[in-house]
């Protein structure tokens, strides 16, 4: 039995649906997430049964499981459906089998094996909810773009049947968390192997207890994603739960997860006869992967020093966290408990082993980022400013090196354009820039053609996307009212009064103090005058989750929700619950302004604003993260001065800047229309935003940069200076 005998949630029917032979490849298409960023493929499933498609969260696997067989027979005899089906399958086959990809054309023979990309979370589509936020979305976008470019990649992560929590807001305005068990029969995943098929090499020990691993496979275009699962009856109960839920607050469970991901992930790849050439660790959670590879080299006969150098040369490490509190650390006694029988296999004693994860000799904890930085020669932050902050933060590992010479660079993140662009805008770009524009979207010259695009057409498309956003939120609220019998006042606070004609500002991000969601309420009377202007109304949509253990951020969320329920704000403030990828797409398609107010030097990158800019939404942000690089004075707005060191002063200046920008620039510009209702100056800013941002902040540019700077260097790199251990 591939799954083992453990309870897997609802796995009563793993048998594929019986499809008519003529359209028999629908199951294959549904189980490759390629369809999620190709609108013509989505249209095929949508056209089969639109109510089922909508009710199932745009999940084709679920559609095929539940659809009436007679509907499938009718589709198999419908000439229009068959023409669309044949066209999509032809495009799918061309992408899957293209021998002349960008990577193959420019870097043929560079790598002896694939890039192994390890990440704690991946966000591909809402039908597979194994992500919490931006780190997972970035990982998903990298996997998609790697397949598009032909970069050989195999990704390794966890199969979380409960994923991250879902969020309800109570009538009193408090976050309530709940978890849904994933129905494995309705997700685009395939059971690959159990530990029995993998053999002993895919086993490991936790505190002297043998742990067994099964593997699920997700296909993301040409990229394979392997998800590890410990929910097997052969494992002790406490270890069966390791893969159940993302980002547990229990430190012992967390270190167990990271051991399974890092050490177990390497062993699974070996058991599957996958031999990566380059190993990429996405954040410190995955750093044990490097230790396991050092152990392998020592087992083959290398000294520890030789083994470490070999591993460093082939390892890429990306850190995303610019504040010390955000890094994953474990108490030394906990590390000793789980590694007491491991360090000898590295040829190390206890003290030398523990030093690998210490920032300095006086550090009381084992820091996973420190471990990753020490065992990788290719180290990156995720934006220009974050690279600078990270060099300052980790200079302690290179005490004799000037800060600006610390061997830690940056490659600014980007977003997967086909996944995040609104279909309506995609087709407009085809008219403006040619049918093949998506193949060249990282070319800045392409976007110069936007100047010739009709202002009126772009504005019509934008208003269409905005109406879809408001309609989607209203439908969500209607469902909560009908299904959960929530009070009407709560429905109003969550967006029932949103106006598709009003200037719409969105604040969508994880709720935490440093992101300052409450800043715009600093002068509540001034805000009331702005949003309640009868001629020029403004509405602000808030959404985001607080970590279950972060009670301070839960209070912030409660404050914002309470103001959304305040009658004096006349329904112009809304808090939309349960922020996920599905909601995010509507928001980044249909807002007018994307608001971002982090404390300076605490935003590593912040890719949600890139997704919004891709769709012509104007960014309004503190110049932190990616906006430090992107802002040019004409493509959005910069909040506050460039540098302020005192937090209280920063709050004062930034709040004043937000109010002043809204009153003097943003609101007047939005409502300055010609006789046909087109705000030409606003649309010109939209065009400038897309022109200046899309080619520079797309995943295609990012992957090409990683390939040219990192994969090429790691494939034939000499050993570089390593940090003091």
- Residue 543 pLDDT more than 80? yes
Backbone angles phi, psi at 360, to 5 degrees: -150, 175
Q: What is the mean pLDDT of the chain?
A: 92
CA 194 to chain centre: 28
pLDDT of amino acid 201: 57
- Residue 448 pLDDT more than 90? yes
pLDDT digits (tens, 9 = 90+) for 321-367: 888 777 899 999 999 999 998 999 999 999 999 999 998 878 889 99
pLDDT of amino acid 52: 94
Please enumerate, as own/partner, the contacts of 424-432 that have beta carbons within 8 Å and a separation of 24 or more: 424/461, 424/464, 424/465, 425/461, 425/465, 425/589, 425/615, 425/616, 426/39, 428/453, 428/457, 428/458, 428/461
Tokens (6 digits) for 702: 């990012």
Write out 185-222 in H/E/C secondary structure. Answer: HHCCCEEEECHHHHCHHHCEEECCEEECCEEEEEEECC
Work out the number of other CB atoms within 10 angstroms of the CB of residue 390.
26
Q: Region 378-404: what's the mean pLDDT?
A: 96
Q: Region 654-663: what's the mean pLDDT?
A: 98
223 DSSP 8-state letter: E
Position 559 confidence tier, pLDDT thresholds 50, 70, 90: very high
- Residue 715 pLDDT more than 80? no
Position 194 confidence tier, pLDDT thresholds 50, 70, 90: low
Q: CB-based contacts of 87: which residues, under 8 Å, 6+ apart?
A: 40
- Residue 16 pLDDT more than 70? no
What is the distance between the alpha carbons of residues 531 and 298, in angstroms, rounded to a whole number? 65
What is the distance between the alpha carbons of residues 396 and 724, in angstroms, rounded to a whole number? 9
328 contacts 279 by C-beta, under 8 angstroms:
no
What is the distance between the alpha carbons of residues 597 and 655, in angstroms, rounded to a whole number? 9
Q: Region 702-725: what's the mean pLDDT?
A: 73
pLDDT of amino acid 716: 64
pLDDT of amino acid 722: 52
pLDDT of amino acid 640: 96
What is the distance between the alpha carbons of residues 130 and 227, in angstroms, rounded to a whole number? 10
pLDDT of amino acid 360: 83
pLDDT of amino acid 525: 96
Q: Is residue 400 exposed (0-12), middle (13-18) or buried (19+ Cβ within 10 Å)? A: exposed
Position 181 confidence tier, pLDDT thresholds 50, 70, 90: confident
Stated as kind and residue range, the H or E segment containing 176 is: strand 175-178
Order of all β-strands in the sheet with 315-318: 190-193, 214-220, 223-229, 153-158, 115-119, 278-282, 315-318, 378-381, 409-410
Q: Region 459-485: what's the mean pLDDT?
A: 92
Stated as kind and residue range, the H or E segment containing 619 is: strand 618-622
Q: Region 89-105: what's the mean pLDDT?
A: 97
Q: CB-based contacts of 530: which residues, under 8 Å, 6+ apart?
A: 538, 659, 662, 663, 667
614 contacts 585 by C-beta, under 8 angstroms:
no
Catalogue all structural domains in the chain, each as residue range(s) with its CATH number: 21-97 (no CATH), 109-413+705-715 (3.40.50.2000), 420-697 (3.40.50.2000)
What is the distance between the alpha carbons of residues 175 and 558, in angstroms, rounded to a whole number? 8
- The 3-state DSSP class for residue 600 equals coil
Work out the number of other CB atoms within 10 angstroms of the CB of residue 709.
14
DSSP 534-576: SSS-EEEEEE----TT-HHHHHHHHHHHHHHT-GGGTT-EEE-
What is the distance between the alpha carbons of residues 469 and 500, in angstroms, rounded to a whole number? 8
Q: Region 95-104: what's the mean pLDDT?
A: 96
Instruction: State the residue for tokens 């152990």.
Output: 295
pLDDT of amino acid 196: 63
Please enumerate, as own/partner, the contacts of 207-215 that have beta carbons within 8 Å and a separation of 24 or more: 207/337, 207/338, 208/341, 209/236, 209/239, 211/235, 211/239, 211/242, 211/260, 211/264, 212/4, 213/260, 213/264, 213/267, 213/268, 214/2, 214/3, 214/4, 215/191, 215/268, 215/272
Write out the E strands in 283-430.
315-318, 329-331, 365-367, 378-381, 409-410
Angle in degrees, CA 362, 367, 373, rounded to 5: 105
Work out the percent of the chain whose per-residue pLDDT is above 70.
95
Q: What length does the chain have?
A: 725
- The 3-state DSSP class for residue 156 equals strand
pLDDT of amino acid 15: 57
280 contacts 118 by C-beta, under 8 angstroms:
yes
User: How many angstroms separate the first and last alpha carbons of the chain?
Assistant: 46
Work out the percent of the chain whose per-residue pLDDT is above 90.
79
Q: Region 378-396: what's the mean pLDDT?
A: 96
């Amino acid at each position: 039995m591939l799954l083992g005998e453990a309870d897997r949630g609802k796995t009563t029917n793993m048998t594929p649906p019986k499809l008519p032979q003529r359209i028999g490849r629908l199951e294959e298409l549904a189980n490759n997430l390629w369809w999620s960023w190709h609108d013509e493929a989505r249209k095929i499933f949508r056209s089969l049964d639109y109510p089922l498609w909508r009710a199932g969260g745009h999940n084709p696997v679920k559609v095929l499981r539940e659809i009436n067989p007679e509907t499938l027979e009718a589709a198999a005899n419908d000439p229009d459906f068959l023409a669309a089906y044949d066209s999509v399958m032809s495009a799918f086959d061309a992408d899957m089998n293209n021998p002349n990809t960008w990577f193959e054309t420019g870097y043929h023979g560079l790598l002896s094996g694939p890039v192994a990309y390890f990440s704690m979370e991946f966000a591909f589509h809402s039908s597979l909810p194994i992500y919490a936020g931006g780190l997972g979305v970035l990982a998903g976008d990298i996997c998609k773009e790697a397949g598009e470019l032909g970069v050989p990649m195999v990704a390794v992560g966890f199969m979380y049947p409960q994923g991250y929590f879902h969020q309800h807001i109570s009538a009193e305005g408090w976050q309530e968390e709940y978890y849904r068990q994933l129905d494995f029969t309705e997700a685009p995943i395939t059971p690959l192997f159990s530990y029995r098929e993998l053999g002993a090499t895919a086993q490991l020990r936790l505190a002297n207890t043998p742990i067994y691993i099964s593997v699920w496979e997700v296909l993301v275009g040409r990229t394979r994603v392997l998800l590890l699962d410990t929910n097997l009856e052969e494992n002790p109960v406490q270890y069966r739960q390791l893969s159940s839920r993302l980002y547990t607050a229990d430190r012992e469970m967390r270190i167990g997860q990271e051991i399974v991901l890092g050490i177990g992930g390497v062993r699974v790849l070996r058991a599957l006869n996958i031999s990566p050439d380059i190993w990429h660790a996405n954040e410190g959670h995955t750093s044990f992967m490097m230790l396991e590879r050092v152990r392998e080299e020592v087992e083959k006969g290398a000294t520890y020093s030789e083994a470490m150098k070999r591993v460093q040369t082939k390892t890429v490490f990306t850190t995303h966290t610019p504040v010390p509190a955000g890094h994953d650390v474990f108490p030394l006694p906990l590390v000793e408990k789980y590694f007491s029988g491991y360090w000898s296999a590295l040829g190390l004693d206890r003290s030398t082993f523990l030093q690998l994860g210490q920032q300095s000799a006086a550090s009381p904890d084992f820091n996973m980022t420190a471990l990753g930085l020490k065992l990788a020669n290719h180290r990156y932050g995720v934006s220009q400013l974050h690279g600078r902050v990270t060099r300052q933060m980790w200079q302690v590992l290179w005490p004799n090196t000037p800060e600006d010479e610390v061997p830690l660079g940056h490659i600014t993140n980007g977003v997967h354009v086909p996944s995040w662009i609104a279909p309506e805008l995609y087709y407009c770009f085809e008219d403006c820039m040619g049918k093949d524009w998506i193949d060249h979207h990282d070319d800045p010259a392409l976007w110069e053609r936007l100047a010739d695009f009709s202002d009126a057409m772009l504005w019509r498309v934008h208003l269409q996307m905005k109406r879809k956003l408001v309609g989607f939120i209203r439908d969500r609220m209607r469902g909560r009212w009908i299904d959960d019998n929530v009070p009407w006042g709560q429905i109003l606070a969550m967006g029932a009064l949103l106006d598709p004609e009003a200037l719409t500002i969105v604040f969508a991000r994880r709720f935490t103090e440093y992101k300052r969601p409450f800043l715009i309420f600093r002068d509540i009377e001034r805000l009331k005058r702005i949003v309640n202007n009868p001629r020029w109304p403004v509405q602000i949509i808030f959404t985001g989750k607080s970590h279950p253990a972060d009670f301070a951020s839960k209070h912030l969320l409660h404050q914002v929700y309470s103001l959304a329920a305040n009658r004096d704000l006349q329904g112009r403030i809304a808090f939309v619950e349960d922020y996920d990828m599905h909601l995010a797409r509507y928001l980044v398609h249909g807002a007018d302004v994307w608001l971002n107010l982090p404390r300076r030097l605490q935003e590593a990158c912040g890719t949600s604003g890139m997704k919004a800019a891709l769709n012509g939404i104007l960014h309004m942000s503190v110049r932190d993260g990616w906006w430090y690089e992107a802002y040019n004075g004409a493509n959005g707005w910069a909040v506050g001065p460039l540098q302020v060191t005192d937090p209280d002063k920063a709050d004062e200046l930034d709040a004043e800047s937000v109010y002043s920008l809204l009153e003097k620039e943003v609101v007047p510009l939005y409502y300055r229309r010609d006789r046909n209702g087109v705000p030409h100056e606003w649309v010109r800013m939209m065009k400038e935003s897309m022109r200046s941002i899309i080619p520079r902040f797309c995943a295609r540019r990012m992957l090409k940069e990683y390939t040219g700077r990192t994969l090429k260097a790691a494939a034939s790199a000499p050993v570089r200076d390593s940090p003091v251990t």
